[in-house]
Amino acid sequence: MLDNLVLGFSTALSVENLLWCFVGVLVGTVIGVLPGLGSTTGVAVLLPLTLSLEPVTGLIMLAGIYYGSQYGGTITSVLISTPGEASSVVTTLDGYQMARQGRAGAALSIAAIGSFVAAIISLALLVALAPPFAEFALDFGPPEMLAVMILGLATIISFAGDNRVLGLLMALVGLLIATVGVDPGSGTSRFTFGSIYLLSGIPFVEVMIGLFAVGEVLYQIRQGAAAPIRAGFRELMISREDLRRSGGPILRGSFLGFLFGILPGAGSTLASFMAYGIEKRVSKRGKEFGTGAIEGVAAPEAANNAAANANFVPTLTLGIPGGATTAVLLGAFMIYGIQPGPLLFDEQPTLVWGLLASFFIGNVILLFLNLPLAPVFAQLLRVPYGYMYPLILLTSLVGAYSITNGMYSVWVVLVFGIIGYFMKRLDLPMAPLVLGLVLGPLFEKALVQTSAIGDGNLLIVFTRPLALAVMAIAILQVAAPTIMARLLRRRATPRSRRSDPADSTPEGSSRG
Amino acid sequence: MKRTRSAVLATTSVLALSLAACGGAESGGGSAAGGGEFTPRGDVTMIVPFGAGGGSDLAGRATATMIEAANADVNVNVENREGGSGAVGYSNFLGQAGDPETLLATETALLALPISGDVEFDYTDFTPIMKLGDDFTLMIVGADSPYQTCTDVVEAAKTERITAGISGITGLDNIVFTLTEQQAGVEFDRVPFESGGELTAALLGGQIDIASLNPGEIIGQLQAGEVKALCAYSEERYSDYEELADIPTAEEQGIDVAFAQFRGVLAPGGIDEAARQFWIETMQAAVETDEYQQYIEENYLQANTAAGDEFVEYLEGNNELLTQVLGG
Amino acid sequence: MTTPPTRRGIAVEQAVVHGLLAALGLGAFVMALDYGLFLEESRVGPGLVPAVVGGLIALIAGWELVTTLRGHRTPHDRGLAEVVAATAVDAPSGGASSERATPGGVPAGGSGSMSPDGGPVQMPGPGPGPGPGPDDVDIFGRTPEERSRQLWTVSAALVVAALLVPLLGLLGSLLVLSVFISAVVEKRGWLPSLVVSFLAVAAVYGVFVGFLGVPLPTGLIGIGG
């Protein structure tokens, strides 16, 4: 083990690899900041550029782009409520509110710190325990995944507080949108109306750019330009109190993220939504979530970063991609002529350990890059919105185009931009819709597979111990809020009475 | 092996040069309609109708490299145009009719998509240039599976339930399983997945009994002894590959099924004869390059090439068989 | 309690949206029945999930529609009403309560939609409310009517720009879009608009074409690419 780490670091610390790691992280951050480009697109688009490099160097750079762009996506989530990918949608909930209150610097700092801690924890787990975790992940067959998806859909409860019915409605709309295209079981084309573009479904990255980036711009135009946010330097810095509050959420988020991340599929998104939901439950400040609670940024950021690293567990140990981006990275392995699979660690120790060591280095670079830069990025909010939004529109549209090299993506962005505007105007919650859209295909696939494995009997979910356990957690999650809420209210009521009347949570609205 | 290859390369580069040199004289007469010799103006675009990092992308990029290696005057840019399981890329390509500076990295979706009935093109709308190779599948079971041959599996299916993972209705694996069922009069219980990776995970986790995977997808697990390959659904054994040479063909085991996913290059429909000839000759030179060998070997393909009209013939036969399986 | 006109406007839009959603759900349900709910041996078929989801959407949205039509007593609206009541108690001025209820001032401002349970947040902005009220102008002195017009102008410009791509190329039409927004919508001078737009498009070109190597469509007159 120690030999391997030494080998890894000696590989990753070579001048060339260090340089390309830095370049990857930096480029990744920039890509993540551009509305419309997320890690999957970023890695896919830049893959050809790395072909001239040594395999290990190229992979180090691509991996740098992967986690760099996740951080870049956080920056836009916080500053302009435009997540780069589904896994940072949750960050917008509290991150953007913090930014509106002049605390963007703190939000970005805690995201950097949370991501860093999560990265280190998950990497340690990855290095020490990848093979057993990979074995564990294999036990998750279709019935277990079906239970996990039900668990994921149950988190909608956490995002629907007051408007539980509307939250459910939006999640259902997300699920319905997800059914467009060829069905996973029989190959029937559904709701395609003869269009070839709809055969593979409505592409969710484009939907996200539309709803969040374009929808937010349109909404801000109608809303009227708010004064640029001028925060004092002290407010831009993260306070000791912030750090104290975030410790628990970051740790819980990291472990949760790692667990979900090793499951092939929607690991990162599910992890960030679950982490947010759990923090909201366990936190004493549960009611402040959604109004700029720092825990609501720390937990999901830690979770999605841990999940991103955990995605490498099945990728490296089994050669089975853990997520969309690692699937592209696996493609890169193949292009370099490296055969991923169980023998990868034995046959390519320099490559694997060099790559893993570069994760450590890359995350350290990210932390040192972003911690000082967080207050600087926060200054961007001083730019009047009238100057900023044309640029947001431009990069959104070009970014959308670059996903598939086709105008169809641009049209999807425009249509969902207008839908997004109306959703914001009518206060229809977006997070459940995104969750439904992301989990929909996975849920349906697991459902179809379970029914095939059970020979038409879906109840096998309750006969497999692991699936049953997950189902029990899901049911608990739905049933618990009523009990928990009652308990929490009893504890929390005196607290909120004591709080300042000008506090950002008037009692009327937080009554759940 | 290596020596012979470089010898081949040496002769072929001479051949390629001479072809390029006398190409004008040769094709000039036959292509009066096109107006004589053809050379691409500017950069050539190779459309890959799937996303970056996939098998089709690999093939497209490799083809681009081998074309550039065969003819230094041609510069090929790869462009991914994904969507609709390839439908978007092919349909866009339909709109490129008459443009000899655009090529497409094609595979079985060219035939499967029209049969499924959702698209407006079929293979006759394009100009087939070259078939690069065949990607067959192997029947794979978990390492602790009781079955040793494909015959065992078929026999077992007569009395018990065998779950077969497939990667989609139009997937190669579903086609060979269907052909096997028709041959042996048995039935496998299908569990639909979406990729070779998912199938591998399901096999390793014991969720399904059998799967049919391309050698390139499963070689890592095979070499690690995590799975067993029972038979190859190919006409001939993988004798060029030491690690696969021991796997008998299905036919050897009494199941007369062989079906490949082909990899190839298409030009748009309606290009003139000179351009068609140019691309066929370029590709004939391209498959003699080192880059071609490397692509074939790294992806465990069988190097069965077919140029121009031969490729058209192959497509005709393949289409008939596919229509039988998928259309029914 | 009398409903301010803007409240009624929102209620009408809510009714329309719920009506549309109900129709969407119903349509999906009917189409899904055609796809087949189950395959042979009671396997889950292609229609099952869309039918169940569509049916639930139709039921929930239909219910919301009915409650909206009967005196705006949707759960959402009740939340809004309570906010209004709460702020009316907190702040004695009547103006504050109507401010909170303007379309622009939906609780929690810009991302209230994503934090449904979040109360109104104090937005750093002019005035005490979360956003400019019906009589308020924003910091550029725009009335709500002007802002509404701007919204539709920008939306239409986006669509027109996308339609112009085959003619002008992607970067070409984005340049036109950017100049149009700067000069016409934001009413900056033509020269600064041109300069800023040109710089913005050049930056986009640099990043996407120069660095990322994305092949952008050039259109008939071949700008960019």
Q: Model confidence over A76-97: pLDDT tens digits? A: 889 888 887 788 889 988 998 8
Q: What percent of chain C lies above the pLDDT cut of 90? A: 32
Residue B103 vs residues A480, B72, B282, C222: alpha-carbon distances, Å: 58, 17, 12, 21
Q: What domains, with CATH codes, occur in chain B?
A: 2-135+261-327 (3.40.190.150), 138-253 (3.40.190.10)
A225 or B250, greater pLDDT: B250
**CB < 8 Å to A492, chain C:** none
Q: Average of pLDDT values for A102-119?
A: 91
**Confidence class of residue B316 from pLDDT cuts 50, 70 and 90?**
very high
Which residues between 194 and 223 in chain C have a beta carbon less than 8 angstroms from any beta carbon of chain B? 215
Helix residue ranges per DSSP H, C140-222: 144-168, 170-180, 190-204
pLDDT score, position A416: 95
Does residue A510 lie in a domain region?
no
Does residue A452 lie in a domain region?
yes
**Confidence class of residue A367 from pLDDT cuts 50, 70 and 90?**
very high
- Sequence letter at residue B322: L
Q: Which residue has the tokens 């190839």?
A: B264
**CB < 8 Å to A444, chain C:** 49
pLDDT score, position C141: 66
Q: Contact A68/A28 with Cβ under 8 angstroms?
A: yes
Q: Return the HEC string of A182-210.
A: ECCCCCCEECCCCCCCCCCCCCHHHHHHH
User: Could you give the CA distance from residue B30 to residue A246 in angstroms, rounded to a whole number?
Assistant: 76
B297 or B37, greater pLDDT: B297
Least confident span in B206-210, C4-8, C140-144 = C4-8
β-pair type (B102-106, B44-48): parallel
CA C57 from centre of chain: 20
pLDDT score, position B48: 92
Does A447 sit within 8 Å of C181, measured CB to CB?
no
Apex A127 CA angle, A122 and A129, nearest 5: 85
Does residue A403 lie in a domain region?
yes
pLDDT at A496 over 50: no
Helix, coil or strand: residue B77: strand
- For residue B35, the distance in angstroms to the closest alpha carbon of chain A comes to 33
User: Could you give the CA distance from residue B222 to residue B134 in angstroms, rounded to a whole number?
Assistant: 20
Nearest to B220 among A47, A140, A343 (CB): A343
**Confidence class of residue C154 from pLDDT cuts 50, 70 and 90?**
very high
C109 or A324, greater pLDDT: A324
Average pLDDT, chain B: 85
Which residues between 133 and 172 in chain A have a beta carbon less than 8 angstroms from any beta carbon of chain B? 137-142
Q: Contact C132/C126 with Cβ under 8 angstroms?
A: yes
Q: Contact B213/B137 with Cβ under 8 angstroms?
A: yes
First-to-final CA distance of chain A = 51
> Over the stretch A436-475, which tens digit does the pLDDT of each residue have?
888 888 899 999 999 999 888 888 888 899 899 988 888 8
Helix residue ranges per DSSP H, A283-427: 295-310, 312-318, 324-335, 344-347, 349-378, 385-404, 407-425
**Confidence class of residue A157 from pLDDT cuts 50, 70 and 90?**
low
User: Could you give the CA distance from residue B286 to residue B71 in angstroms, rounded to a whole number?
Assistant: 8
Residue A367 vs residues A26, A370, B92: alpha-carbon distances, Å: 12, 5, 44
**Confidence class of residue C49 from pLDDT cuts 50, 70 and 90?**
very high
Q: Which of A341, A360, A305 is nearest to B197 (CA)?
A: A341
| Overall number of domains in chain A | 1
Does residue A501 lie in a domain region?
no
Give the start-end residues of each E strand in C12-131: none
Chain B neighbors (3+ CB pairs < 8 Å): A, C
Interface contact B131, partner A, CB < 8 A: no
Does A331 sit within 8 Å of B168, measured CB to CB?
no
**CB < 8 Å to A94, chain C:** 115
User: Could you give the CA distance from residue A225 to residue A333 in angstroms, rounded to a whole number?
Assistant: 48
**Confidence class of residue C98 from pLDDT cuts 50, 70 and 90?**
very low
pLDDT score, position C120: 38
Q: In this prediction, does ipTM exceed 0.85?
A: no
**Confidence class of residue C67 from pLDDT cuts 50, 70 and 90?**
confident
Contact pairs from chain B to chain C, CB under 8 Å: 3
**A11: containing domain:** 2-226+239-493
**Confidence class of residue A292 from pLDDT cuts 50, 70 and 90?**
confident
At residue A285, φ and ψ (nearest 5 deg) are -100, 30
Does C113 sit within 8 Å of A429, measured CB to CB?
yes
Least confident span in B103-107, B193-197, C125-129 = C125-129
Helix residue ranges per DSSP H, chain B: 2-30, 55-70, 87-94, 109-116, 150-159, 172-184, 196-204, 215-223, 273-286, 290-298, 308-327
To test the contact with chain A by mutation, choose from C76, C111, C145 the residue with the greatest count of A C-beta atoms within 10 A, namely C111
**CB < 8 Å to A48, chain B:** 52, 61, 78
Q: Contact B64/B46 with Cβ under 8 angstroms?
A: yes
pLDDT score, position A306: 93
Does C53 sit within 8 Å of A176, measured CB to CB?
yes
